[in-house]
Amino acid sequence: MLYPISTDSRVVMDLNGVWKFMIDNEVDVNQPLPTGESMAVPASFNDQAVSAEIRQHCGYVWYEKEFTVAKALFNERLVLRFGSATHEAWVYVNGKFVVHHKGGFTPFEAEINEFLVSGANRLTIRVSNLLDHTTLPVGNYSEKKDENGKIIRKVDENFDFFNYAGLHRPVKIYSTPLNYIDDIVIVPNVDLAAKKADVQVSVKTGGHFDEVRVTILDEQGNTVAQATGTEINAAIENVHLWQPLNAYLYTAKVEGLKNGEVEDVYQEQFGARKVEVKNGKFLINGESFYFKGFGKHEDTFVHGRGLDEAYNVHDIKLMKTMGANSFRTSHYPYSEEMMRLCDQEGIVVIDETPAVGLFASFTFDLSILEKGGEIEDGTWTKLRTTEAHQQVIRELIDRDKNHACVVMWSIANEPASYSKGSYEYFAPLFALARELDPQKRPCTFVNIMLATPKVDKCTDLVDVIALNRYYGWYVQTGDLKTAEEKTRQELLEWQEMYPDKPIMYTEYGADTVAGFHSAFGEPFSEEYQEDYYRMNSKVFDEIPNFVGEQLWNFADFQTKYGIMRVQGNKKGIFTRAREPKMVVRYLSKRWNEIPNLGYKK
């Protein structure tokens, strides 16, 4: 799916702004929404209104906005596009149903010419924030009726972040000619020795062109290669490589011609880089790459999970100042705008599906660490997420396939991979991702702490072992000496079992209250957080195949109510307002001294 951009042949209309809003009631979509409530888009609805009812609302909400299309565009193909709608949406134009989409973190679109009228048009959207055992993320859904017979819905999230919902990403209408470029697939095959890239470009069109022309431009706008056809191979000599923190982007300019005239044109940026997993190392452009960075969230004040490009820019600048080079889109696909920014800034991304909460219940039964053999907790008979999982893998790869920043797909976060039936569930999903990705990137899933080497069933499927571990926090709390021993023991066990697979931490951290200091280094203090990270760093440097540290979390973030969470999760090394905690100085020094490429050769 192509990102909507304006070109010589395309116009983009922005529908962002203030919309009408209403919760829960059944409405007649043939009439204007009967409400005086306002809500900004893109943003979560939860924190905008100073209303506990709206913030905690569980069920359906309505959005509505009027728009006008210029008469000059009525002879063009007009497409209504949503960056996302969390978690399910039904879309109507002038009271007529247009499109339905389930899944809250990937874009969807529909042609709307047949629904439009001259003058004012009315766009109405019904959005659901409900989650259950068929959805991703996973939620525990229940309902009851009050004394008036009204259905009261409840979702108990099977994950540890707030269930922000609404129209989180831009809503746009874009035009194309009736003959149009529908999709572009770019695969740069880099020959490092020859300093050359053979770029395969596949173009899908709608309607009919006499000719399709592909021109590869460098960053100065110079033509470096050109060919015609919908399946072409263009050679770039003396190729400029896309490198971590040193991005170089080429542009594939695709033109559709009819009767010798260009009818449609689209420009897709891409980076030429080579990603491999070999001999226990993660290689970018033939050199060992070391992941330095974060798990993070799309989470800011008032916006909630909604797109905030100022925060995106600020977060990337904070990362780069620290010497970080990467993050994981935990625990769902991030906005297309963030992915495009990472392409430009040279930030390496592990791109993750919203498959979080794939276990029978949101508990942390540590007794499983002492068990071996066959474990059956009912996860893979209780959950029915296969269809949603297949859908999001397809939609994620379709959206992000051309991004240079994406070096690995994460199929899930912390599933019950220790439980009977997990391998049978995941094997077809890994196969699907590998089949769909034209660039054949490595694949992983993020391993929960309960899935130790003795009990995990799915590590054979991965290219990189990605571990979430909390020795010294959830176990051995405050006892960093024992935590160090446990950390080293498990990493050496993984190293021995899988000597050809790289190993990295995708989560490790300790809740820390900004401003709380302790002469004794107590848990929750800033001193303990720094001691915790220093301990982990020491062990990481001892393990030959250890290729990266992505801590949890970049910044404090909002969660549901609970006695374990005071104003959310405090594991951030920055506060939610992006103020640094004490440990940032230590990590900045460490990361700036570790080279991005060539470390641990």
Please give the Cα distance from 318 to 323 (Å, whole number).
Answer: 9
- Residue-level pLDDT at 163: 98
**Residue 119 placed within a domain:** yes
* Tokens read off for 288: 């060992």
Question: For 162-174, b where at least 16 C-beta lie within 10 A, e where not — what string?
Answer: bbbbbbbbbbbbb
Task: State the SS3 of 157-222.
Answer: ECCCCCCCCECCCCEEEEEECCCEEEEEEEEEEEECCCCEEEEEEEEEEECCCCEEEEEEECCCCC
**Residue 275 placed within a domain:** no
Share of the chain above pLDDT 70, in %: 98
Are 265 and 340 in the same domain?
no
Cβ proximity of 534 and 278 under 8 Å: no
Closest CA to 402 of 104, 101, 200: 200
Are 437 and 582 in the same domain?
yes
**Residue 281 placed within a domain:** no
CATH number at residue 445: 3.20.20.80
The tens digit of pLDDT for each residue in 305-318 reads 999 999 999 999 99
Of 18-27, 82-91, 282-291, 381-390, where does mean pLDDT reach its minimum?
A: 18-27
pLDDT band of residue 375 (cuts 50, 70, 90) is confident
**Residue 2 placed within a domain:** no
CATH number at residue 244: 2.60.40.10
Are 334 and 452 in the same domain?
yes
Orientation angle between helical segments 309-322 and 336-345, nearest 10 degrees: 30
Asked whether residue 371 carries a pLDDT value surpassing 60, the answer given is no
Asked whether residue 368 carries a pLDDT value surpassing 70, the answer given is no
Task: State the SS3 of 347-370.
Answer: CEEEEECCCECCCCCCCCCHHHHH
Are 26 and 121 in the same domain?
yes
- Residues marked active site are found at 414, 507
pLDDT band of residue 446 (cuts 50, 70, 90) is very high
Give ∠ CA 410-411-412 in degrees, rounded to 5. Answer: 95
Structural domain containing residue 444: 294-593
Are 475 and 543 in the same domain?
yes
From residue 508, give the alpha-carbon distance in Å to each of 262, 330, 448, 468, 557. 53, 13, 11, 6, 15
Are 373 and 500 in the same domain?
yes
- Residue-level pLDDT at 66: 98
Closest CA to 280 of 594, 497, 508, 551: 497
The tens digit of pLDDT for each residue in 31-58 reads 999 999 999 999 999 999 999 999 999 9
Asked whether residue 26 carries a pLDDT value surpassing 90, the answer given is no
| Mean pLDDT value across the chain | 96
Are 228 and 377 in the same domain?
no
Of how many residues is the chain composed? 601
- Residue-level pLDDT at 314: 98
Asked whether residue 540 carries a pLDDT value surpassing 80, the answer given is yes
Please give the Cα distance from 205 to 146 (Å, whole number).
Answer: 53
Please give the Cα distance from 217 to 268 (Å, whole number).
Answer: 10
CATH number at residue 172: 2.60.120.260
Share of the chain above pLDDT 90, in %: 94
Question: For 364-377, b where at least 16 C-beta lie within 10 A, e where not — what string?
Answer: eeeebbeeeeebeb
H or E stretch covering 151:
strand 151-157
Which of 270, 302, 326 is the last residue before a domain boundary?
270
**Residue 6 placed within a domain:** no
Are 344 and 389 in the same domain?
yes
**Residue 599 placed within a domain:** no
Which of 176, 195, 210 is the last residue before a domain boundary?
176
Average pLDDT over residues 454-482: 97
From residue 53, give the alpha-carbon distance in Å to each of 22, 57, 58. 12, 6, 9
Please give the Cα distance from 394 to 40 (Å, whole number).
Answer: 30
Of 107-116, 393-402, 432-441, 447-456, where does mean pLDDT reach its minimum?
A: 447-456
The tens digit of pLDDT for each residue in 176-199 reads 999 999 999 999 999 999 999 999
Work out how many domains the chain is built from and give that number: 3
Average pLDDT over residues 3-7: 98
**Residue 17 placed within a domain:** yes
Does the N-terminal peptide bond of residue 428 adopt cis geometry, omega within 30 degrees of 0?
Answer: no
- Residue-level pLDDT at 374: 73
Are 488 and 353 in the same domain?
yes
- Residue-level pLDDT at 564: 86
pLDDT band of residue 372 (cuts 50, 70, 90) is low
Of 82-96, 315-329, 345-359, 371-385, where does mean pLDDT reach its minimum?
A: 371-385
- Residue-level pLDDT at 601: 76
- Residue-level pLDDT at 397: 98
pLDDT band of residue 71 (cuts 50, 70, 90) is very high
Are 324 and 437 in the same domain?
yes
**Residue 96 placed within a domain:** yes
Asked whether residue 362 carries a pLDDT value surpassing 80, the answer given is no
Asked whether residue 420 carries a pLDDT value surpassing 60, the answer given is yes
- Residue-level pLDDT at 367: 66
Are 331 and 457 in the same domain?
yes
Are 300 and 390 in the same domain?
yes
The tens digit of pLDDT for each residue in 129-182 reads 999 999 999 999 999 999 988 899 999 999 999 999 999 999 999 999 999 999
Which of 143, 176, 209 is the last residue before a domain boundary?
176
> Residues with Cβ < 8 Å from 215, sequence gap 6 or more?
223, 225, 226, 252, 253, 255
